[in-house]
């Protein structure tokens, strides 16, 4: 390990794509422009929010390390690799993309091992070796060495460069006679410093297009540290596993390999490790670890099979007393929203007795994720080494993105790596809910009709919120389908709306309605929306606010006010109400049989009453008949148009029939307040009854009945 450790990552967009950190009192810079979202970066959208930590148990008797000097002199330069695949939608039935992520000695000197920029601006490498890195697709075809591998991360201090190259391959059949295709990646040579140094490596990946849409992807640093506990025979470190979006159920294949707990932790036992077994002396040593993670898959056709996903990496056992402590780090699962900045902070320190400073190593990160310089020396818990990561994901980066990191001292001792999976989601649409004040009152309210009553005050409480707490929302009324209005003019007549932002992403609003005396029969839908703000768009996004600035689904209330009834409050008299409706108290008294004395109203005697309130009938309900025109009904009962519309707020056209068939007229009513002086005494029964003796005497005013 080097004496200092630089941040190893692929950063985006020019000068801003470089991160610096302070180690040992000096500033060190590391980083490269990130490749565009192609090749290895296309994997991001193909993984979903299922990520597990892999606990790999190692024996501490694996391979003996040798001096860094001999490593530098060796020709071996392979350090790490993993493979994964996904099916490609195309007119070719069995087309797949196979990605090889590999790490190599950064200081390897060879005319075949060099970096260049391709026309798209990606930093690419051409990798060769004593034996050419070789991809065998298991169907008679192969590919010789990595000729255009994108650089996705590197570390000067740990002397590695991380590459990714994706190969597109067409198989003639979905699998190999019922068994998976075994894609093999091999070559020579392992980096020196290991028992495997300067020897071949080889790994296999299972591909079955019939059973699956893709495989899991193992995410790790090329070199990881694990504490070597004195007297113990095992050590533990973490890997991250992204489960692909395939519709299949992934689980442990066999307890021989590992067990999958209910909380998603995979415990791996030592039978997975294949390596030369040489006792490590002293407790600090470097070893190569190769494993094929066996996943059992219950796929869409119900077939249960085991599939291998390989990884080979270097593990450095270090004394536990020299390992940095990660004192404050992000959670292993983090959620972010497109267009909104995600901030993550990392803090670590090492025991003061070591007199070391602390820095960080970070693997390949998503395009656009930036790290700050490291502040603090990390020499104690009171002076931790602090690094901040900031990322505003683009809309084309929806999906899961994993990266790993560790804290490393200036003496080259690292913490056990930790891995983070960031699930990038579209900015969510705000939601709205509401409640109304308690209606154990004479308001005759029902949840389905929202039937309000004249003379009473109603309160609607709205609560709007956005699951994205970086967002800011507003709340306001909007026109319903049959309304022509804007802003507060869309509120119910006489309604007032008070809006309060309890925080940027939460709104509480109160709508107060007190139906006026002329709103009987009012029937109108009123709608409200919550709208969120626009996040920061990316240049690659199709418009300025993709998936953002989104209006919630409108919350609409059908506000109805009861006809012919109102709330009579304590102290109100019949004479007051009669004056409002251009009638006399005698008419109102005759409509309310519960009032036994017009001058001393007992509210308890009124129907549906509670203390200090009562329901007063202010008219008579009339069942509308086919072809009834409001003006004709008004004339018959001795009412003018203004008086009729005062009792029927939903009637705007007095000349047009409300309905023309019995079915259409069902449950349609007017409220009328008959005037016996100006109304029509005749009825539809006038002519049929005129020939009857009893009617003819009564109709001409005679009191003599034969």
User: In this predicted structure, what is the pLDDT of residue 333?
Assistant: 85
Collapsing DSSP to helix, strand or coil, 603 comes out as helix
User: In this predicted structure, what is the pLDDT of residue 35?
Assistant: 33
Q: Is the pLDDT of residue 598 over 60?
A: yes
CA 363/CA 313 separation, integer angstroms: 13
Q: Give yes or no for a contact between 398 and 376, defined as CB atoms under 8 angstroms apart.
A: no
Which of 27-36, 115-124, 405-414 shows the lowest per-residue confidence on average (mean pLDDT)?
27-36
User: In this predicted structure, what is the pLDDT of residue 513?
Assistant: 92
User: In this predicted structure, what is the pLDDT of residue 175?
Assistant: 92
- DSSP H or E run through 69: helix 68-73
Q: Is 200 exposed, middle or buried (0-12, 13-18, 19+ CB in 10 A)?
A: middle
CA 454/CA 460 separation, integer angstroms: 16
Give 80 or 700, the one with higher predicted confidence: 80
User: CA torsion, points 203, 208, 213, 219, in degrees to nearest 10?
Assistant: -10
User: In this predicted structure, what is the pLDDT of residue 75?
Assistant: 63
Q: Averaged over 645-658, what is the pLDDT?
A: 94
Residue the block writes with tokens 């450790």:
5
Give 89 or 684, the one with higher predicted confidence: 89
Q: Averaged over 651-675, what is the pLDDT?
A: 94
Which of 126-135, 223-232, 574-583 shows the lowest per-residue confidence on average (mean pLDDT)?
223-232
CA 463/CA 506 separation, integer angstroms: 7
pLDDT band at 215 (very low <50, low <70, confident <90, very high): confident
Residue the block writes with tokens 């601006």:
121
User: In this predicted structure, what is the pLDDT of residue 192?
Assistant: 77
Collapsing DSSP to helix, strand or coil, 49 comes out as strand
Q: Is the pLDDT of residue 504 over 70?
A: yes
Which of 185-194, 368-377, 380-389 shows the lowest per-residue confidence on average (mean pLDDT)?
185-194
Give 241 or 148, the one with higher predicted confidence: 148
Instruction: For CATH 2.60.40.10, list the domain ranges present in the chain.
Output: 1-34+323-426, 431-562
Q: Averaged over 359-387, what is the pLDDT?
A: 92
Q: Is the pLDDT of residue 329 over 80?
A: yes
CA 73/CA 420 separation, integer angstroms: 36
Q: Is the pLDDT of residue 7 over 90?
A: no
26-62 confidence digits (pLDDT tens)? 222 233 333 332 222 222 233 322 333 333 333 222 2
CA 279/CA 298 separation, integer angstroms: 40
pLDDT band at 91 (very low <50, low <70, confident <90, very high): confident
User: In this predicted structure, what is the pLDDT of residue 421?
Assistant: 85
User: In this predicted structure, what is the pLDDT of residue 323?
Assistant: 86
Q: Is the pLDDT of residue 341 over 70?
A: yes
Residue the block writes with tokens 């649409």:
429
- Percent of the chain beyond pLDDT 90? 31
CA 363/CA 350 separation, integer angstroms: 21
Q: Averaged over 532-546, what is the pLDDT?
A: 71
CA 671/CA 18 separation, integer angstroms: 77
Beta bridge partners of 691: none
Q: Give yes or no for a contact between 308 and 179, defined as CB atoms under 8 angstroms apart.
A: no
Which of 273-277, 422-426, 447-451 shows the lowest per-residue confidence on average (mean pLDDT)?
273-277
User: In this predicted structure, what is the pLDDT of residue 301?
Assistant: 43
- DSSP H or E run through 81: strand 78-87
pLDDT band at 439 (very low <50, low <70, confident <90, very high): very low
User: In this predicted structure, what is the pLDDT of residue 310?
Assistant: 77
Give 60 or 112, the one with higher predicted confidence: 112
Q: Is the pLDDT of residue 69 over 50?
A: no
CA 62/CA 226 separation, integer angstroms: 13
Q: Averaged over 266-285, what is the pLDDT?
A: 37
476-498 confidence digits (pLDDT tens)? 999 988 888 998 999 999 999 99
Which of 238-247, 263-272, 414-423, 603-612 shows the lowest per-residue confidence on average (mean pLDDT)?
263-272
Q: Averaged over 134-163, what is the pLDDT?
A: 88
Collapsing DSSP to helix, strand or coil, 45 comes out as helix
Considering the entire predicted model, what is its pTM? 0.72
Phi first, then psi, for residue 664 (nearest 5°) are -70, -30
Q: For the structural domain made of 1-34+323-426, what CATH number should be given?
A: 2.60.40.10
Q: For the structural domain made of 431-562, what CATH number should be given?
A: 2.60.40.10
Q: Is the pLDDT of residue 639 over 90?
A: yes
Phi first, then psi, for residue 220 (nearest 5°) are -160, 165
Give 560 or 273, the one with higher predicted confidence: 560
Q: Is the pLDDT of residue 447 over 60?
A: no
Phi first, then psi, for residue 335 (nearest 5°) are -115, 140
User: In this predicted structure, what is the pLDDT of residue 92?
Assistant: 85
Phi first, then psi, for residue 667 (nearest 5°) are 65, 15
User: In this predicted structure, what is the pLDDT of residue 564?
Assistant: 94
Comparing CA positions, the residue from 402, 406, 399, 405 lying closest to residue 421 is 402
């Amino acid at each position: 390990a080097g004496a200092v450790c630089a941040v190893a990552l692929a950063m985006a967009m020019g000068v801003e794509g470089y991160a610096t950190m302070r180690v040992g009192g000096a500033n060190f810079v590391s980083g490269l422009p990130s490749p565009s979202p192609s090749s290895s970066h296309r994997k991001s959208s193909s993984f979903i929010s299922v990520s597990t930590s892999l606990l790999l148990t190692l024996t501490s008797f694996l391979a003996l390390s040798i001096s860094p000097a001999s490593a530098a002199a060796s020709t071996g330069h392979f350090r790490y690799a993993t493979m994964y695949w996904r099916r490609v939608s195309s007119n070719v039935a069995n087309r797949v993309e196979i990605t090889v992520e590999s790490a190599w000695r950064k200081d390897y000197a060879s005319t075949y091992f060099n970096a260049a920029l391709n026309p798209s601006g990606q930093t690419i490498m051409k990798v060769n070796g004593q034996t050419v890195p070789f991809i065998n697709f298991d169907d008679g075809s192969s590919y010789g060495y990595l000729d255009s591998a994108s650089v996705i991360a590197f570390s000067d201090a740990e002397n590695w460069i991380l590459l990714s190259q994706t190969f597109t391959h067409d198989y003639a059949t979905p699998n190999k006679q019922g068994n998976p295709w075994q894609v093999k990646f091999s070559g020579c040579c392992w980096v020196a410093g290991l028992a495997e140094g300067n020897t071949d490596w080889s790994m296999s990946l299972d591909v079955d297009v019939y059973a699956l849409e893709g495989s899991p992807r193992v995410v790790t640093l090329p070199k990881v540290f694990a504490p070597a506990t004195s007297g113990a025979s095992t050590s533990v470190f973490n890997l991250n596993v992204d489960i692909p979006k395939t519709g299949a159920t992934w689980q442990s294949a066999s307890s021989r390999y590992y067990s999958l707990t209910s909380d998603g932790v995979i415990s791996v036992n030592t039978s997975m490790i294949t390596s030369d077994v040489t006792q490590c002396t002293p407790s600090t040593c470097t070893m190569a670890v190769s494993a094929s993670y066996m996943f059992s898959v219950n796929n869409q056709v119900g077939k249960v099979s085991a599939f291998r996903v390989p990884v080979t990496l270097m593990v450095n056992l270090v004394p536990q007393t020299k390992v940095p402590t990660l004192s404050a780090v992000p959670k292993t699962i983090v959620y972010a929203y497109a267009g909104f900045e995600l901030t993550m902070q990392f803090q670590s320190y090492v025991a003061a007795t070591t007199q070391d400073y602390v820095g960080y190593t970070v693997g390949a990160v998503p395009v656009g994720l930036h790290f700050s310089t490291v502040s603090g020396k990390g020499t104690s818990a009171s002076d931790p080494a602090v690094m901040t990561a900031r990322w505003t994901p683009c809309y084309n980066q929806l999906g899961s993105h994993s990266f790993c990191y560790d804290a490393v001292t200036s003496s080259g001792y690292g913490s056990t790596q930790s891995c983070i999976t960031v699930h990038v989601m579209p900015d969510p649409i705000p939601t709205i809910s509401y409640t109304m004040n308690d209606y154990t009152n004479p308001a005759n309210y029902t949840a389905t009709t929202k039937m309000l009553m004249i003379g009473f005050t109603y309160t609607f409480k709205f609560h709007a919120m956005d699951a994205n707490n970086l967002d800011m929302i507003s709340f306001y009324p909007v026109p319903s389908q049959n309304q022509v209005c804007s802003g507060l003019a869309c509120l119910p007549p006489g309604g007032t709306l008070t809006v309060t932002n309890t925080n940027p992403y939460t709104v509480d609003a109160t709508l107060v309605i007190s139906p006026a005396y002329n709103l009987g029969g009012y029937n109108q839908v009123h709608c409200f929306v919550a709208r969120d703000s626009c996040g920061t768009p990316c240049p690659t996004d199709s418009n300025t606010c993709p998936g953002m600035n989104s209006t919630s689904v409108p919350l609409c209330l059908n506000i109805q006010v009861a006809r012919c009834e109102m709330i009579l409050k304590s102290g109100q008299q019949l004479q007051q109400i009669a004056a409002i409706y251009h009638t006399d108290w005698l008419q109102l008294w005759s409509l309310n049989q519960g009032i036994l004395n017009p001058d001393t109203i007992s509210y308890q005697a009124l129907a549906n009453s509670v203390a200090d309130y009562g329901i007063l009938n202010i008219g008579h309900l009339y069942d509308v008949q086919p072809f009834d025109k409001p003006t004709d009904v008004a004339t018959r009962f001795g009412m003018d148009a203004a008086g009729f519309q005062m009792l029927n707020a939903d009637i705007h056209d007095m000349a047009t029939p409300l309905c023309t068939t019995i079915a259409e007229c069902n449950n349609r009513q007017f409220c009328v307040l008959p005037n016996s002086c100006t109304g029509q005494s005749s009825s539809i029964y006038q002519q049929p009854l005129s020939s009857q003796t009893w009617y003819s005497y009564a109709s001409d005013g005679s009191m003599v009945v034969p």
